[in-house]
Amino acid sequence: MTKVLITGAGIAGPAAAIALHKAGIRAEIAEARAPEADAGAFLTLTANGIDALQAVDAAQPVLDASFPATRMRVFDPEGKLLADSPLGRDHPCPRTITRTALSQALRQEAARRGIPVRYATRLTTAAAAPGRGVTAAFADGSQAQADLLIGADGIRSPVRTLISPAAPSPRYTGLMIACGYADDGPPAAETGAYDMCYGTRGFFGYTTAPDTRNWWFARIPAPELTPAEAAAPPATWRQRLAAAFSDDRTPAATLIQATSHITVTSAYDIPTLPNWHNGSMIVIGDAAHAASPSTTQGASMALEDSVALAQCLRDIPAIPDALGHFEHLRRDRAERVVQSGAGVENPVPPGPGSPPRRGNPPGWLYSHHIDWNSRTRDTDGSRPTC
Ligand SMILES: Cc1cc2nc3c(=O)[nH]c(=O)nc-3n(C[C@H](O)[C@H](O)[C@H](O)COP(=O)(O)OP(=O)(O)OC[C@H]3O[C@@H](n4cnc5c(N)ncnc54)[C@H](O)[C@@H]3O)c2cc1C
């Protein structure tokens, strides 16, 4: 029976373990961080991400830990309303959730299905031997043996470098992303709705959570942050970010001032890799195709990957063939998403007659559906069918 080792218990890792379990494949997870570590930002999961979870009967815990984004209003820097649209007409509403809560919900679901997760266990290296699978080594001195190593280890993935030592490093997108939870300030149109505000120096969006706090993010074109800048005290960031929105007649500066803890990061992406796998190791999620946070797709794409990979391993007996087929299925879609978020958005709204901006994701993105019962190959094993 195939045994799979997964490194990373963020989003792709536990989701892949859950999907493999449903496929009857044994998996265990090694995660570098402690179970209670905070993953910072909040995110939206779109219909395609929820669909992937539904395929493996794992959507409910995530729905329970999130709230629906019901409506979106867009404002210009003067505070003038540019658009007001309900969400969830063509596809189910996106769900808003913290990264930590999403990861925890998936890890708890994995634990409920009996999947072992080892925490504080950082992969340092791995080597494949013909006929003997992969031996992985960890910083605590332990080792693990498996038929397949799945690197669900994020944008700085060590497994990506093991597969392709010449793989490109993550690319800075030119955007600084900040986020926080304001105890005060004007609420959005309704609970769960997003108010999106163009500003003269950056873009600001927020939603009012069921607990009445305002969850906000800001995207500001800026040089790449040094680690010391990113770790500056909250008061420094409050001042700097509020100043960036001080000329705008939107609630941005007020909400920033009402926030005690602010997370700030530079945004990176990975447009393409030479290989996603080498026959016994593979990368999925951000490790393979990190997209700028402005796509709001990284987590959903990680969930799609996780389920699709389990289906390939379920249906195609030879592991290298299954990995090759998975990459064939997923690469174009994933790289198209990364491409859609490349470059820096102009914070100023489009004027009359300007070409439409990227913004409303087309149907190809949200309507992606995974049918768990469909086979990834015809029964004669020769022809891919999806
Ligand atoms: C500010 C911000 C906003 C975002 N907003 C959205 C959004 O709205 N919608 C959306 O879909 N996506 C969003 N994203 C992107 C999303 O968070 C990622 O795409 C998603 O987390 C990818 O999941 P993953 O499992 O591939 O990687 P991660 O979630 O990064 O998990 C990787 C895991 O691997 C572990 N790890 C790393 N190295 C090792 C090692 N050597 N050994 C063992 N474990 C290791 C890490 O500790 C981590 O737990 C946002 C990202 C950011 C930064």
CA of 155 to the centre of ligand 1 (A): 7
**How would residue 354 be classed by pLDDT, with cut points 50, 70 and 90?**
very low
Tell me the pLDDT tens digit for each residue of 108-158: 999 999 999 999 999 999 999 887 899 999 999 999 999 999 999 999 999
SS (H, E, C) 243-281: HHCCCCCCCHHHHHHCCCCEEEEEEEECCCCCCCECCCE
Q: Which residues touch 126 (CB under 8 Å, ≥6 apart)?
A: 134, 135, 136, 137, 149, 159, 162, 281
Pocket lining: 283 vs ligand 1, CB cutoff 6 Å: no
| Atom 19 (ligand 1) nearest CA | 298
Tell me the pLDDT tens digit for each residue of 196-240: 999 999 999 999 999 999 999 999 999 999 999 999 999 999 999
Residue 157 alpha carbon, nearest atom of ligand 1:
38
Is pTM, for the whole model, over 0.85?
A: yes
Tell me the pLDDT tens digit for each residue of 297-338: 999 999 999 999 999 999 999 999 999 999 999 999 999 999
Side-by-side strand order, sheet with 143-146:
123-129, 133-138, 143-146
140 vs 352: which has the higher pLDDT: 140
pLDDT at 339: 94
pLDDT at 380: 45
Go through 326-349 and write b for each residue having 16 or more CB atoms within 10 A of its CB, e for each that does not.
bbebbeebbbebbebbbeebebeb
CA of 40 to the centre of ligand 1 (A): 10
Say how far residue 315 (Cα) sits from the centre of its chain. Answer: 26
Contact between 61 and 105 under an 8 Å Cβ cutoff? The reply is yes
Tell me the pLDDT tens digit for each residue of 260-311: 999 999 999 999 999 999 999 999 999 999 999 999 999 999 999 999 999 9
Is residue 355 over pLDDT 50? Answer: no
pLDDT at 348: 56
Q: Which residues touch 313 (CB under 8 Å, ≥6 apart)?
A: 2, 4, 20, 23, 25, 148, 319, 322
Token output for 175: 């955007």
Beta strand pairing call for 171-182 and 214-221: antiparallel
Pocket lining: 15 vs ligand 1, CB cutoff 6 Å: no
| Atom 27 (ligand 1) nearest CA | 154
Q: What is the mean pLDDT of residues 161-172?
A: 96
Pocket lining: 151 vs ligand 1, CB cutoff 6 Å: no
Contact between 63 and 234 under an 8 Å Cβ cutoff? The reply is no
Pocket lining: 178 vs ligand 1, CB cutoff 6 Å: no
β-partners of residue 277 are 282
Segments of the chain assigned E as strands: 3-7, 26-30, 42-45, 67-68, 71-75, 81-86, 95-98, 117-118, 123-129, 133-138, 143-146, 148-151, 171-182, 194-198, 203-208, 214-221, 262-269, 281-283
